[in-house]
Structure 1
Amino acid sequence: MKKVRIGIIGVGNMGTGHATYLQKGDINGAVLTALLDNNQERAELLKEKVSSDVQVFTDEDAFFESGIVDAVLIATPHYEHSHLAIKAFEHGLHVLCEKPAGVYTKQVRKMNEAAEKSDKVFSMMYNQRTNPLYQKLRDLIQTGDLGEIRRINWLITNWYRSQSYYDSGGWRATWAGEGGGVLINQSPHQLDLWQWLTGMMPTRMRAFCHFGKYRDIEVEDDVTAYAEYENGATAVFITTTGEAPGTNRLEISGDRGKVVVENGELNFWRLRVPEPEFNRNFKGGFGAPECWKVEVPIEGKETAHAGITQNFVDAILHGTRLLTPGEEGIKGLTLSNAMQLSTWLDDWVELPIDEELYYKYLQGKIANSTEKKEVKSVSLDVDGTY
């Protein structure tokens, strides 16, 4: 295979962005050959905008049976991700899927099983993993420079969204349309990084989700969660779409120091000796380990979405290791499902979660969803239509 022929499914905001850099030739070894969007009006406009080498489809089966794609990039509403990925694998196609992996872990597990059975390349569009700052932080943790993790705090409240944003699409902020709010739409990147940076998943979680606290919506727009780990570490995750100005601050403490990521900077305070060693040997009254603020070199640039797509193509053509294996998408989703389930049960939730119980509660929410029938302020670039 000289070039990977890519077909994009869903040409809203994200799909349009992916199509743009692919058509410009920014991805070595890849060529855009097809687009699938089930909105007839949008499809007709796409035919006028894309090159004659790109075929536009409105019929899903015709797209998959066309024989003109080797891989698909899925950029549709969340509920469709699993179904489309599984269908792609069944047609022998490689899959790159936008975040989140899906709405509930039960469907994502089926997607992972289909991927394993197909033996095709499967990747997730977790573009924040290309950020050199987070890559360096992960390196500090994985190599032991921070020591054993003791505490994680992530305050991510700069996801401000107005009521007009939610009113711009009938599917937005509804259980039937999105399957969640800030946890499923805005925060999946942080939920993925949370587990990717540390390499750990919590053993149990207690969360408090507020539904429609700041906006006239039915899903969560304010969340505070507390998690515990097998090694005794704890974590607090706070997010909302209703505060301005917001904050994005990640603090991770280990027994060898502390790292803070905020305002695009990484600050590392390193203990001269590990805290347990100091505590064991110190005989005075008041005292604390000697601490150095270390300047950590951050090299490289964030390649974002195009970087993930290039990595995906390289994995297909050259066997390059994936930065964002698709099978890992279930981990961040498990965290968000656990937060919602804990709130619905008003109790602790053990991880891995009871997938059938979560699915039961979600179906109840969907059955009573007030998904708006009238879509206000429609534009051709509104995401969520495919």
Structure 2
Amino acid sequence: MTVKIGIIGIGQQGSMYASVMKNGKFMGMDTGTVEGLELAAVCDISEERKAWAEKEIADVPFFTNHIEMLDSGLIDAVLVVTPHYFHPVMAMDAMDRDIHVLCDKPAGVYTKKVKEMNEMAASKPHLKFAMMFNQRMNPLYLKLKELMDSDVIGSIRRTNWLITTWWRPEGYYQMSDWRATWEGEGGGVLINQAPHQIDLWQWLCGMPTKVTAKAAYGSHRNIAVEDDVTALVEYENGATGAFITCVHDLAGTDRFEILGDKGKIIVEDSKKIILKKLNDTEQNISNNLSFEDMKRLFMGGGLGDVISEEVFEFDNVWGLQHFDVLKNFAAAVSDGAELVAPGAEGIKALSITNAMHLSSWLGEEVSLPIDEDLYFEKLQEKIEEEKIAKAQEA
């Protein structure tokens, strides 16, 4: 079965999906079309995007109203690639018409609305609902998931992710009026770039229970939303974690560490996994260390006999994993394959993002699940402040 899919939103990202599905082209590379998917329609409100579609995907029906596309009978499934506030709204419009949904990240801007989407999806189990969490298809993170599920490093004690490779120049924020605004996008680096890592973080390590965050808003870019974030989290077992990201580090660092009581995993630049395994739990090693071993350790001799190391290296092209998610979605719709990123899981990363925002706004630690009404109230305050600032600039 070939799944006939429509795309809502053919801006920068949506047009990339359309080009691959229709022409088998991605950034000048011949990737081939996506097995199991046929691009059957596209939708956008922009005249500029309509002109692009007429030139690049000329025989694909174009709509300016997503409801008309959903009601056209041309599509079995839809890919939602619009500004973030519209993700749950348009996903629910599709589900209401028994159309399968693949939603670009994030699931939405605030969890209260995403819960509505998840509840509708749960009421329609015959439909496939997935998230475009493309890095779940990255071979490195699939290997890391395998290692974490095997309990190779034991109970988690600490997780740290320093991810500052999301550098964006000032001109990036002038590309669209909605980008990097509270009203149009619902946030900055946490809602736009970092959802990739925040989803992987919880997918691999579980959900935290408490969050404390310090976010800087427009500190290095002329935007109202966050461009620099440092967050600390606590897990149910008492383990701690840190997440640091920004858009102004041109040198950039991508380093992810997971410390367990039986070892440690280090991920460098999303290309190398270093696995350090202990031959016993750290606590047992500590309790049973002999005096001679202690002297050797303190003299710089190390404990090489209790630690072994494995290295896994990967050479991945960023972006190609998007197409693996598309293939997985097509297989799920046509053959019942298991989804690698079920749509209902989108709320998890967003819950962490909302908690980081709320903690920074309140200047205090917040617990998960957060107070959703309070979050929405504070978000509306940010939107109003933004409107006032724009009016004063005009």
Q: TM-score under structure 1 normalisation?
A: 0.92
In the alignment, the residues of structure 1 paired with residue 329 and residue 245 of structure 2 have an alpha-carbon distance, to the nearest angstrom, of 30
Q: Give the aligned partner of residue 380 of structure 1.
A: none
Give the counterpart letter for 1:182 in structure 2.
Answer: V
Q: Give the aligned partner of residue 22 of structure 1.
A: 21
Pick which of 89-98 and 35-44 moved more: 35-44
Q: Per-residue displacement from partner, 1:259-300 (whole Å, max 9, x unpaired)?
A: 111131111111122212212322434557521122347699
Q: Give the aligned partner of residue 235 of structure 1.
A: 241
- Cα displacement (A) at 1:255: 0.9
1:150-161 equivalent positions in 2, closer than 5 A? 150-161=157-168
Q: Give the aligned partner of residue 212 of structure 2.
A: 206
Q: 264, 272, 284: which is aligned to 2:279?
A: 272
Pick which of 219-228 and 54-63 moved more: 54-63
- How many residue pairs get aligned? The number is 370
C-alpha contact 2:19 2:57 (8 A) present in aligned 1: no
In the alignment, the residues of structure 1 paired with residue 313 and residue 180 of structure 2 have an alpha-carbon distance, to the nearest angstrom, of 40
1:339-358 equivalent positions in 2, closer than 5 A? 339-358=356-375
Q: 368, 377, 382: which is aligned to 2:385?
A: 368
In the alignment, the residues of structure 2 paired with residue 298 and residue 161 of structure 1 have an alpha-carbon distance, to the nearest angstrom, of 25
Q: For the structure 1 residues 299 and 179, does the alpha-carbon distance in structure 2 shift closer, same or farther, using more than 3 Å as the test?
A: closer
Q: 122, 132, 135: which is aligned to 1:125?
A: 132
1:13-52 equivalent positions in 2, closer than 5 A? 13-23=12-22, 24=24, 26-52=33-59
1:317 aligns with 2:334: yes
1:81 aligns with 2:87: yes
Q: Give the aligned partner of residue 257 of structure 2.
A: 251
In the alignment, the residues of structure 2 paired with residue 131 and residue 27 of structure 1 have an alpha-carbon distance, to the nearest angstrom, of 17
- Cα displacement (A) at 1:26: 2.1
1:194 aligns with 2:201: yes
In the alignment, the residues of structure 2 paired with residue 86 and residue 124 of structure 1 have an alpha-carbon distance, to the nearest angstrom, of 14
Q: Give the aligned partner of residue 137 of structure 1.
A: 144
Q: 324, 332, 336: which is aligned to 2:353?
A: 336
1:278-297 equivalent positions in 2, closer than 5 A? 278-284=285-291, 285=294, 287=297, 290-296=306-312
**CA RMSD for the aligned pairs?**
1.9
C-alpha contact 2:19 2:56 (8 A) present in aligned 1: no
In the alignment, the residues of structure 2 paired with residue 312 and residue 51 of structure 1 have an alpha-carbon distance, to the nearest angstrom, of 25
C-alpha contact 1:5 1:31 (8 A) present in aligned 2: yes
Q: For the structure 1 residues 113 and 255, does the alpha-carbon distance in structure 2 shift closer, same or farther, using more than 3 Å as the test?
A: same
Q: For the structure 1 residues 338 and 350, does the alpha-carbon distance in structure 2 shift closer, same or farther, using more than 3 Å as the test?
A: same
Q: Give the aligned partner of residue 99 of structure 1.
A: 105
Q: Give the aligned partner of residue 384 of structure 1.
A: none
C-alpha contact 1:225 1:339 (8 A) present in aligned 2: yes
In the alignment, the residues of structure 2 paired with residue 297 and residue 158 of structure 1 have an alpha-carbon distance, to the nearest angstrom, of 19
Q: Per-residue displacement from partner, 1:43-76 (whole Å, max 9, x unpaired)?
A: 2441233142x21001222111100100000111
Corresponding residue SS for 2:277: strand
In the alignment, the residues of structure 1 paired with residue 310 and residue 352 of structure 2 have an alpha-carbon distance, to the nearest angstrom, of 32
- Cα displacement (A) at 1:125: 0.5
Give the counterpart letter for 1:177 in structure 2.
Answer: G
Q: Give the aligned partner of residue 27 of structure 2.
A: none
In the alignment, the residues of structure 1 paired with residue 73 and residue 159 of structure 2 have an alpha-carbon distance, to the nearest angstrom, of 47
Q: Per-residue displacement from partner, 1:306-341 (whole Å, max 9, x unpaired)?
A: 100000010011111000111111111111110010
Corresponding residue SS for 2:381: helix
1:146 aligns with 2:153: yes
Give the counterpart letter for 2:50 in structure 1.
Answer: A
C-alpha contact 1:136 1:298 (8 A) present in aligned 2: no
In the alignment, the residues of structure 2 paired with residue 297 and residue 44 of structure 1 have an alpha-carbon distance, to the nearest angstrom, of 43
Corresponding residue SS for 1:295: strand
C-alpha contact 1:132 1:301 (8 A) present in aligned 2: no
1:11 aligns with 2:28: no
Corresponding residue SS for 1:108: helix
Corresponding residue SS for 1:368: helix
Q: Which structure 1 segments of 5+ residues have no match? A: 374-386
In the alignment, the residues of structure 2 paired with residue 300 and residue 238 of structure 1 have an alpha-carbon distance, to the nearest angstrom, of 23
Pick which of 282-291 and 21-30 moved more: 282-291
In the alignment, the residues of structure 2 paired with residue 261 and residue 48 of structure 1 have an alpha-carbon distance, to the nearest angstrom, of 42
Corresponding residue SS for 2:219: coil
- Cα displacement (A) at 1:372: 6.4
In the alignment, the residues of structure 2 paired with residue 240 and residue 341 of structure 1 have an alpha-carbon distance, to the nearest angstrom, of 18
C-alpha contact 2:272 2:313 (8 A) present in aligned 1: no
Larger relative contact order, structure 1 or 2 (CA cutoff 8 Å, min sep 6):
1
Give the counterpart letter for 2:172 in structure 1.
Answer: Y
- Cα displacement (A) at 1:105: 0.6
Give the counterpart letter for 1:333 in structure 2.
Answer: L
